[in-house]
Amino acid sequence: MPEPLLRVRGVRKLFPIKAAGWRTHAQRVVHAVDDVNFDLGAGEALALVGESGCGKSTLALTLLGLEPLTAGSIRFEGQELAGAPPEVWRLARRHIQMIFQDPYESLNPLMTVGEIVAEPLQVHKLATATEERRRRIMAALDDAGLKPAQHFMRRFPHELSGGQRQRVAIAAALVLEPRLLVADEPVSMLDVSIRAEILNLLADLKVRRQIAVLFITHDLGTVSAIADRIAVMYLGRIVEIGAVNDVLTTPQHPYTQALLSVVPAPNPRLRRQHIILQGETPDPVNLPAGCRFHPRCPVAIARCHQVDPVLQAVGAGHAVACIRTTELRTNTL
Amino acid sequence: MMEQATGGYRGVWRRLRRNPMGMIGLAMLVTAIGVALLAPWLSPYDPNAIIRVTILDIYQSPSPAHWLGTDDAGRDVLTNFLYGARVSLTVGFFASFIAVSIGGLLGLSAGFLGGRTEGVLMRFTDIMLVIPDLPLAVVIVALTKPSLTNIILVIGLLGWTGTARLVRAQTMSVKQRKFVLRARAVGAGNRYIMHRHIFPLVLPLMVVNTVLVISLAILNESTLSFLGLGDPATLSWGQMLNYAFTRGAMSAGAWWALIPPGFGIVWVVLACTLLGQGLEQALNPRLLTHHLAADRTLTSHRRLQPAPTSEGATPGNR
Ligand SMILES: Nc1ncnc2c1ncn2[C@@H]1O[C@H](COP(=O)(O)OP(=O)(O)O)[C@@H](O)[C@H]1O
Ligand SMILES: [Mg+2]
């Protein structure tokens, strides 16, 4: 099997937290990302889905080396990035670009759109000829749907709408012609009315430019427009991963089922009964023993309090981390 | 929308123009600078002319020949006053330039680099902060030759602590902002980020601070001169006050020897304070304060929230 574009193994990111009292000697940690494994092929889009605080952003930041890993391995195009020297990261960042959640905060208010989009070229000392640089900036703005491009070059971010700002961020990511785009909830801060446009733009770029996309979202409803595969994340770990179709039509993990049950289904015949999860999200500091989902799981049994399940294949490319998967499936069939 | 207010430095000037107090301060400062520059043309007499004085020339009250009377040496007070503006403003500008450069450099380094560097630099700043400036300045100036250069150096080298703390705080808050993270994600290094993203957003604060430090420096110079530690070769406003007090202007009832230098000092200090406050208000609050960190403060992770609109409502009310 050829090496995928991105290969993530056992990635772990723990944030130590300051002890509240001077007597507590035990170092407490936030398990933001806790043993994550997945592959992402060239030109493929993987949606990473999970509720707020499950570690999606932290995972994205570790993939770009913006948060140092606690443990694990990240290979990009066969090159190990975990613990790699700055030069290796620098080169990797030419090919991995990120779009942040908040387009109001992620653009420098004192820089024009032209300067913002030129920045990656400047930082990597690419397209140093004025004419070529200008051409690449215009092309990127154009590809991001900011037309006519020269109309936007001299604008400041505050003169643009949220959607336009996110397009500027996309243009700045595109200008380096990356192979992987990490989009961290790119539409969650935008008006509902313009979300679809931005999602379509990303989907279109993925197809036209063959860019692999790691699309992070807390909203399962936005997934199918872009993604080929879905990874569902719960408390720092992937609990189910598979092709979009498989996961959306035959979700195996009780958490995925709960998430899906409350997504307004476009097709009323497919509507399921709402599964309301009991309890609160356990905090990532004091993880429950056994399966980390068991306190909220509607089908948890005694063994779930002890066994920490690992991802196991349930179909072609479809894997689930739940000890009851096979048993429950045979029951319903 | 609040974002409408940001963007470029041009907005600062536009908002300053609408701030009456700030504009009054600016006009007052420009007047003072104008007086200092035009002193040779405005002054009725040559300040360095060697004049023959009789007892009658000393502390002459205001007259058509001497609008503001004469001083203890029989020289024209108006001329002294106009040339005194040059000394006071020179000290103010150079000393505050030194102070803001040192404070800015330390504050930027400490705020940006963090860790051990920050600890060491800020401990040093705290020590400098608790040492009272004036007594130390008096001691240093008294031990060195009281020349204008020395006074500028002493005031500048002692007056940077406030700037350092202010700049450090601002640097730390700019560093937290998402566009800095985005620049890192793009591959930018420390030097680029400092130069392109941090410094331009800290600079406005440093400008405001410079204006305020100028007034402090002028006050300090006046105090030192008044205490007899001024450069004997130059006649600053502080020096004029010193001579007036020590050479009998009070007993002679020569108020004209006291009021002009006092007025000059108050004028410039007031100008700087008003302009500084005006600039502070004109600077975008969004440049000075950290935008709400939406990611962690607005969204609670205590809820299961797959509802598509649960996070989407924020842009309207931010
Ligand atoms: N810099 C940090 N220091 C401490 N805890 C953090 C930090 N960043 C994130 N966390 C914690 O890690 C967990 C995952 O956060 P995050 O990755 O932002 O989640 P998501 O993006 O899925 O909403 C949260 O509990 C959060 O509070
Ligand atoms: Mg997030």
Task: Quote the ipTM score.
Answer: 0.90
**pLDDT surpassing 50 at residue B313:** no
CA angle B157, B162, B164 (to 5 degrees): 80
Letter for the amino acid at B216?
A: L
Would the CB of A99 count as within 6 Å of ligand 1? no
What confidence score (pLDDT) does residue B297 get? 30
Q: How far is the CA of A183 from the centre of ligand 2 (A)?
A: 10
Q: Answer yes or no: do A66 and B305 touch at CB < 8 A.
A: no
Is residue A274 in some structural domain? Answer: yes
- Does A263 contact chain B (CB < 8 Å)? yes
Q: In what order do the strands lie in the sheet with A212-217?
A: A96-99, A180-184, A212-217, A45-49, A229-234, A237-243, A318-320, A312-315
Please determine, for residue A1, whether its predicted confidence score (pLDDT) is greater than 60: yes
Its pTM stands at: 0.83
* Residue A231 Cα to ligand 1 middle (Å): 18
Whether residue A76 is contained in a domain is answered as no
Ranges assigned E (strand) in A25-179 = 28-40, 45-49, 71-76, 79-80, 96-99
Nearest-atom index, ligand 1, CA of A284: 25
Does the CB of A66 have a partner CB in chain B at under 8 Å?
Answer: yes
> Is it the case that residue B311 has pLDDT exceeding 50?
no
Provide the pLDDT for residue A265. Answer: 63
Q: Torsion angle, CA of B207/B213/B214/B220, rounded to 10 degrees?
A: -170
CB neighbour burial string for B60-96, b if at least 16 within 10 angstroms, e if fewer: beeeeebebbbbbebbbbbbbbbbbbbbbbbbbbbbb
Asked if the structure places residue A187 within a domain, the reply is: no
Distance from CA of B310 to the nearest CA of A (A): 9
Structure-model confidence comparison of residues B55 and A268, the more confident one: B55
- pLDDT at residue B15 above 50? yes
Structural domains counted in chain A: 1
Two tokens at B40? 């040779």
C-alpha torsion angle, residues A33, A39, A40, A41 (rounded to 10) = 170
pLDDT band at A261 (very low <50, low <70, confident <90, very high): confident
Distance B295 CA to ligand 2 centre (A): 6
- pLDDT given at position B305: 38
- Position with higher pLDDT, B98 vs A285: B98
State how far the Cα of B226 lies from the Cα of A113, in Å rounded to an integer. Answer: 54
Among A320, A304, A184, A333, smallest CA distance to A257 is for A320
A173 within some domain: no
CB A54 to CB B301 under 8 A? yes
Residue nearest to atom 13 of ligand 1 (CA): A32
What would you measure as the largest C-alpha separation in chain B, in angstroms? 95
Facing residue for B286 by CB, picked from A109, A123, A262: A109
Mean pLDDT for B302-318 is 38
* Averaged pLDDT, A23-33: 79
Please report whether residue A320 resides in a domain.
yes
Contact call for A53 and B318, based on CB within 8 A: no
When pLDDT is cut at 50, 70 and 90, the band that residue B298 belongs to is very low
Q: For residue B126, give every residue at least 6 positions away whose Cβ sits within 8 Å of its Cβ, in sequence order, or none.
A: none
Tell me, using a 6 A CB cutoff, whether residue A282 lines ligand 1.
Answer: no
Q: pLDDT band at A26, cuts 50/70/90?
A: low
The mean predicted confidence, pLDDT, of chain A is 90
**Predicted confidence (pLDDT) at residue B99 exceeds the cutoff of 50:** yes
Contact, A72 vs A82, CB < 8 A?
A: yes
B307, two tokens: 């509802």
Q: Across residues B116-128, what is the average pLDDT?
A: 91
Structure tokens at B294: 């939406």
Query: A214-258: per-residue pLDDT in tens?
Result: 999 998 888 988 999 999 999 999 999 999 999 999 999 999 999
CB contact under 8 A, A64 and B315: no
Residues 198-257 of chain A with CB under 8 A from chain B are: 218-222
Categorize the per-residue pLDDT at B50 as very low, low, confident or very high, splitting at 50, 70 and 90.
Answer: confident
Per-residue pLDDT, averaged over A184-191, amounts to: 92
Question: A188 CA to middle of ligand 2, Å?
Answer: 10
How many helices (H) and strands (E) are present in chain B, helices listed first?
Answer: 14, 0
| Chain centroid to CA B197 | 24
B250 versus B90: which is more confidently predicted? Answer: B90
Between A and B, how many residue pairs show a Cβ–Cβ distance under 8 A?
143
Per the domain annotation, does A205 fall within a domain? no
B4/A100 Cβ within 8 A: no
Range of the domain at A277: 256-333
CA distances from A76 to A36, A206, B155, B185 (A): 15, 18, 56, 15
Please check whether residue A156 touches B, CB under 8 A. Answer: yes
What are the angstrom distances between the C-alpha of A28 and each of A16, A72, B122?
A: 6, 20, 29
Query: Mean pLDDT lowest for which of A292-301, B28-37, B61-70, B171-180?
Result: B61-70
pLDDT higher at B308 or A143: A143
A55 lines ligand 1 (CB under 6 A): yes
Q: Which residue among A53, A94, A189 places its CB closest to the CB of B294?
A: A189
Across the interface, of A94, A221, A281, the residue whose CB is closest to B187 is A94
- Residue A64, by phi and psi: left (phi above 0), alpha (psi -120 to 50) or beta? alpha
**Contact predicate B214/B96, CB 8 Å:** yes
Chain A residue numbers with beta carbons less than 8 Å from the beta carbon of B182 are 98, 100, 106-107, 169, 172
pLDDT tier for residue B230 given thresholds of 50, 70 and 90:
confident
Q: How confident is the model at residue B5 (pLDDT cuts 50, 70, 90)?
A: very low
Q: Per the CB < 8 Å rule, is A102 touching B294?
A: yes
Cβ contact A181:A213 at 8 Å:
yes
Counting DSSP H helices and E strands in chain A, the numbers are 10, 12
pLDDT in tens, A74-116: 999 999 999 899 899 999 999 999 999 999 899 998 899 999 9
Q: What is the pLDDT of residue B316?
A: 38
User: Which tens digit of pLDDT belongs to each residue from B190-225?
Assistant: 999 999 999 999 998 899 999 999 999 999 999 999
Contact A158 B6 (CB under 8 A): yes
% of chain B with per-residue pLDDT over 90: 48
